[in-house]
Amino acid sequence: MPTSNADPVWEQIRAEATQHSRDEPILASFLHSTILNHTRLELALSFHLASQLDSPTASSLLLREVMLQALDSDPAIREAVRADLLAVQERDSACHELYIPFLYFKGFHALQTQRVAHWLWTHGRESLALFFQNRMSAEFGVDIHPAARMGRGIMLDHATGLVIGETAVVGNNVSILQSVTLGGTGKDEGDRHPKIGDGVLISAGAKILGNIHVGEGAKVGAGSVVLEDVPPHTTVVGVPAKIVGRPSTDQPALDMDHSICCPEAEEDAKRGTG
């Protein structure tokens, strides 16, 4: 059981919920049951997720017990949860308070569900891990295999239609938008899914297929189909994706700039032909 040290993230969430319970009395009961009645972030998160993943064959009480076991056993999960919350607040222009992703953003909910499922998978409880994957997919419209390795400080923005395969690896401080696929290329078994470096931005609808590497600080344009390795700090766009330039920052995931700057377009603009 973790100690009761100061927890700035949890303290901020509680302060925001307290204020909003006063401002919007209709939500007071909801905010108390999901946040204010709990003494630790882990208690609140397990309650909230289990309530959403509840099914006729596995009650929220049972699911919450499993989640708490994972959260309380692994400090890396607890650290990642907080890093993920801060990532959303810092990168999502529609989110200015931590309680918002905690309560309302299904990308955050799906990611924390996968963290629990991954813990189960690595502890030999694969059947229960797959159950959590199924409930995540049905409830949130997000399908992340329990064996996939996810870093910390990840933002899954909107998240609808996101698919991440079994042997995929996603680094730290990565931002991924809706309808992205990190998939295989066929029926091959073994290590067959993409490896995403730190600080990468993957825009909406991009498909990255096969056991390929997207280097740190790279940017993948919306709707692109990536079939080959992407060098670090490059921008790729198209079907199939080609290198068109470099991101304007070392970690494009942090500034969420989806614009594409390529040398050809800049030269056309200078000549007045673009």
> How confident is the model over 109-156, as pLDDT tens digits?
999 999 999 999 999 999 999 999 999 999 999 999 999 999 999 999
For residue 43, what is the enclosing H or E element?
helix 41-53
CB 48 within 8 A of CB 113: no
Q: What is the pLDDT of residue 262?
A: 58
pLDDT of residue 265: 45
The confidence score (pLDDT) of residue 274 equals 43
- Residue 3 — very low, low, confident or very high, per pLDDT cuts 50/70/90? very low
Residue 243 φ/ψ, nearest 5 degrees: -70, 130
Domain boundaries, the chain: 8-141, 148-256
Share of the chain above pLDDT 70, in %: 93
Whether 67 shows a pLDDT value over 50: the answer reads yes
Q: State residue 42's pLDDT score.
A: 98
pLDDT in tens, 191-213: 999 999 999 999 999 999 999 99
pLDDT the model gives residue 192: 96
Q: Average pLDDT, whole number, for the chain?
A: 94
Confidence of residue 259 (pLDDT cuts 50, 70, 90): confident
Q: Which helix (H) or strand (E) holds 176?
A: strand 175-176
| pLDDT of the residue at 1 | 44
Top-tier CATH class for 148-256: mainly beta
Tell me the whole-structure pTM to 2 decimals: 0.92
Percent of the chain with pLDDT over 90: 90
| pLDDT score at 188 | 78
3-class state of residue 144 by DSSP: strand
Other Cβ atoms closer than 10 A to 129: 23
**pLDDT band for position 47 (50/70/90)?**
very high
pLDDT band at 260; cut points 50, 70, 90: confident
The confidence score (pLDDT) of residue 189 equals: 85
182 phi, psi to nearest 5 deg: -110, 90
| pLDDT surpassing 70 at residue 2 | no
- The residues, any chain, with a CB within 8 Å of residue 163's CB and separated by 6 or more, are 143, 144, 180, 181, 182, 183
| Mean pLDDT score, 216-235 | 98
* CATH T-level assignment (fold) for domain 8-141: serine acetyltransferase, domain 1 (1.10.3130)
Element (DSSP H or E) covering residue 134: helix 126-140
pLDDT at 228: 97
Amino acid, res. 34: T
pLDDT band at residue 186 using 50, 70 and 90 as cut-offs: confident
